[in-house]
Structure 1
Amino acid sequence: MPIVQFAPFSSLIQPSFWHELTNLKIDVLRLSDEALPISGSYSTGKSVKDRETGQEIALGCNLSIGSESFDKGFKPSQGSIAVLGTLKNYNTIDEFKAADKTVLFNREAERIWEHTLKTRDTSLLTQFLLITFADLKKYKYYYWFAFPAFVSKPAWEIAEDGWKDASSEFSSDALISIHSHLRAHPAPLPFFLVRSDATGTTISPVEAYSTFFETTPSSSQTIAFVDPSANPANPGWPLRNLLAYLRVLYPNSTSSVRVLCWRDTDIQTTWKSRFGVVEISAAASETSSRPAAVGWEKNPQGKLGPRVADLAPMMDPERLANQAVDLNLKLMRWRILPSLDLEKISTTKCLLLGAGTLGCYVARTLMGWGVRTITFIDSSRVSFSNPVRQPLFEFEDCLNGGKPKAECAAARLKKIYPGINSSGHMLSIPMPGHPIPPASVEQTKADVQKLEALIADHDAVFLLMDSRESRWLPTVIGAAKGKIVINAALGFDTFLVMRHGTRATSTPPNGKANPRLGCYYCNDIVAPSDSLTDRTLDQMCTVTRPGLAPVAASTAVELLASLLQHPDGVHAAAPPPLQNADRGGQQGDNENEGVLGMVPHQLRGFLAQFRNMHIVGAAYDRCTGCSETVLKSYENDGFEMMLKAFNDQEFLPALTGLDKLYDEGEAALESVDWDEEDEADDF
């Protein structure tokens, strides 16, 4: 008699499975290569009709997995059979290639066999193994499936009449009854028993073999399984282990087995299911030792070897970018900083006041940290001197008078990464000491309102302008609204990067009162005034060493990242200056540190000596930028208060009491009795 030929499983992997594996690898598994449980499913065999010949063509005997395969409560679609599996993902292609496939395969086969003997449960008879390597930079996935199936010796043979239509053995009523019982069963049955007697046709799980057939003659006993094969001559792969199960547990009654290959999902006039009688020599060895197993899937070339899924060509480039841009950050969290909260950084909305050299470099570094909302404010246009120093502009942006810097920079960020939420606003920021003509008051008021709205809508504000007085208005608004304010300023070979302290009335979440840190104006007792009129060319341009701006910009962004990762956030205390001097770059020895290390107040960089100096500046109660006097005046009088500051250089000193300090200083100098004759004699 012919030997039974089984149709092997073919893997069918949905692209969503690879996307889910990517997320799992990056966010959960990281460097772990521990085996994971997954699930798959298969259904009855499918076939299609050839339009030219009219013949039925059997499709593959497919086992499918998708993104839902990782769910613990996996539920297959209606009519499908759930299959348990094991996933082992390797960290490198070399580890994947060098893995001992024989050991892995035999481990799974042994698990199936032991489970069968101990529990008589059939849930693991179609257990599968999947080994993978995910190349997350190129979106290539190397994988190899194994469907362990036990080898019968001698082999099973099919009776002389071979496989035939189930309708030749079962009446239509019997097949309808089987279909109804399967539908009514609480859980899909991959393997089941069929019994026909005077009362009709009934089914039961295979686990009930010893009792279900007690009073049924062998001619009415049928073993059935949901067959994923549509080949009329070859039953599907699950039958191999089902027969092995029957032989090892019931050797005395299973040398000849009536098999129903169930292939019908609906009641129909022409039934697709197949029936046959398979036999094995009664003298076959009756032993409980595990037989050999086979089941590694062949590749498309018909050879035993892994397959490759290349998703890059079929993926939306923007989606590829979305998954790839943060890869460096997530790898950083894998190996170095498991506690790094990337979401806190990515959701921080950043407002950049100034789209020049500092603004361009700050924006690029923010993108590198995963920030997804970046807004520019600038009042100027791109000039021919800009593109070589400001990396978000090109030569074409300078033509025809130049594009607005803020809008151009925002558009360029979207070209770099389409997933960024960037926008630009051409806006002139009013400044103290720069009087507002009566005809421009309404426009200035509108500009101030727009600036207030933008600062309110963002979490962090970067002051990157090229004058001292242009930083005053956003300093006041940022302090009043409790925003993170990061200041950066350039000299020829020096820079200042600092974070503004919190408002005096602000309370830290932990209730711990730290010394209040100053703002940009706390270090100076001179109120901001006009420094822009009558400037020479070298004063109008920021004359600085070319490498200084990227250093300062990166430092400003890293300061923000450190602040966001600190448990106290914007209220984080600054480390004492002397303690910073001899740290040697070590982290973790300062109670004020966060995940990324220290969070200094001010950093003054000196490129000539290639060194940074940490400075802590206390808040000043007469500060023209962040003192409670100024903030309450702004909150009470709004634009009217600002207009006085713009038009009258004496307003802010009078409001904060600096004018009295000036008077006291003058009085102290006048009270000194200078001996002019003695000074002359000294020379």
Structure 2
Amino acid sequence: MSERISLLSGDHTGSLEIDSFSIEVLMASDTSGASSSSDLKLQFAPFSSALEAGFWHQLTQKKLNDYRLDESPKCIKGYYYNGDPVGLPTRLTLEFSAFDVDGPTPARCCPALGTLYNTNTLDAFRATDKKALLEKEAKEIWDAIQSGAALKNPSILCKFILLTFADLKKYHFYYWFCFPALCFPEGLKMIQPPVTLEQVFSQRQISALQESYDGLCLKSGITAVPFFLMKYTEDTVEMALLEDWKKFFTDTKKVTVGVYDPCTLSQHPGWPLRNLLVLLAKQWGSEMEVVELLCFRDQTLQGNRSIKHSVVFQVKLPELPNNSVCLKSVGWEKNPKGAMGPRMVNLSECMDPKRLAESSVDLNLKLMRWRLVPSLDLDKVVSTKCLLLGAGTLGCNVARTLMGWGVRHITFVDNANISYSNPVRQPLYEFEDCLGGGKSKAMAAVDRLNKIFPGVNAEGYNMSIPMPGHPVNFSQATLSQAQKDVEQLEKLISEHDVVFLLMDTRESRWLPTVIAASKRKSTRDRTLDQQCTVSRPGLAMIAGALAVELMVSILQHSEGGYAVASSSDDRMNEPPTSLGLVPHQIRGFLSRFDNVLPASLAFDKCTACSPVVLDHYEREGFSFLSQVFNSSHSFLEDLTGLTLLHQETQAAEIWDMSDDESI
């Protein structure tokens, strides 16, 4: 890693620079329990600005349509998250919604209000008095602390500054981010080294703490409470807002205060704690002997929520001077080289709306991985080539869900045209597609995917799939076309990683199953028959989504398509992948909203993938297929031994009946 990351900062010495290797060493030593005097100095992990492409796109629109030459400060909003896995920096994120300060904040994220100073020229950007901007914002925080306004509105403690210049001819954006923090004159030391919550709290207390915090958020009507008061017993945990200090605490010799902490380091709190400590010292520093601090961290790993990695430590706050002079402040972010200076991002390519769409889709998936499944291999999902045999009710829903997972390569095969009954159930088509005899489903589906997301690589083939019992030898032309269709299907299956069998009948799924089994390709969704078309409308959406989710789960399994089947009995066991179970079949019953996961051995007399069928296909090729197409259904049953099995079963039933009658 060539860049150096600013991770820790004391009060006066600025930022302590550590490269990626040192980060690992630091975190390893943090867990050793060492407690030297230097370790007890309280240091904070500063924010790392995370300005998404969507933010710059919105700034461009604002500059062109609203701000124009106006350089007056503007209110914006970012947010930070406290559930990131260990190793990620403490991020303050600004995205396209940053200019809607009254808009919603993402779930379980804490809002941070800021001031945007957008200059008209690069010279004005360089000449801006950064020290004056920092001191102005710091003075507002200090005044709010002294007056008590910060108690009623703690968001004042989490303000930030963003200085920008947008070169809209080249789409070069210069920016400098600042998170103002007041500094104690003599710094701060911890009474004892930090420990994780599970080291000092029982499981009952941890559960009570989590429930109490959720209740406080619900009562306050916000996604995350940034600061809170806490007191607890062996069985209960109570919480309150900062403004309730006097009626919540009767004994202030030792109090517990919590902070929604975005830091991932095990021995250091994040930046938002700094101004809170100044507030506590100014308001009640003379009354308190010890402050116990809870750095509340709320992760979700493999679908399970956990706060046990939260950090607890104690400090003795010094008394602040009685005068009203504002404390010194720090907060300007260092550039990638570790020096005090701005950053620049070149978005000349991704400011194209099509590229911006790709960036947004990828960002959504990355956020899901960061917050829910850190071990998810997104590259494997996105690069998977999917062949959809059938562009009807199931095909449309499967395609939309695949795009939601970021799959870029989707190919349709269908020989039907769009009819008037299709658009209400098949979301890739509209009424106009039915006019004039109807557009080709495969081609119309490709057009619609490209309109939804231009970054998709979609193809369509208007072709038939030969079926058993449907003769193809009426003429040489028919036979030749069938052979071309088989060759084309073989080529498509060979070129794709996953094949979705989304046709209406078992007969139409026979040939793709044989080819896919021969080429060792994964196949999905083979047992719905015509139910998706003639049953409840929601069935296809549910089945299509389940099929795609099952594909993604298989891709995350170390054995891929050869993964051992998960069954209903495994639901309480440790899942084999980061996304959970990997069943081979999902049987759904919408009438009672229930799913079962049957698991069975491969059937050695299967008419599509049994060894004898695959052997004939691989040795004889189209000659064998032609015989299947032109013969009755009994041909495959005779070949695989199903006919004999049926006869033996019927004979056994007759003998059983005779025995019953003689008793």
Could you tell me the TM-score, scaled by structure 2's length?
Answer: 0.49
Higher percent of residues as helix = 2
Could you tell me the TM-score, scaled by structure 1's length?
Answer: 0.48
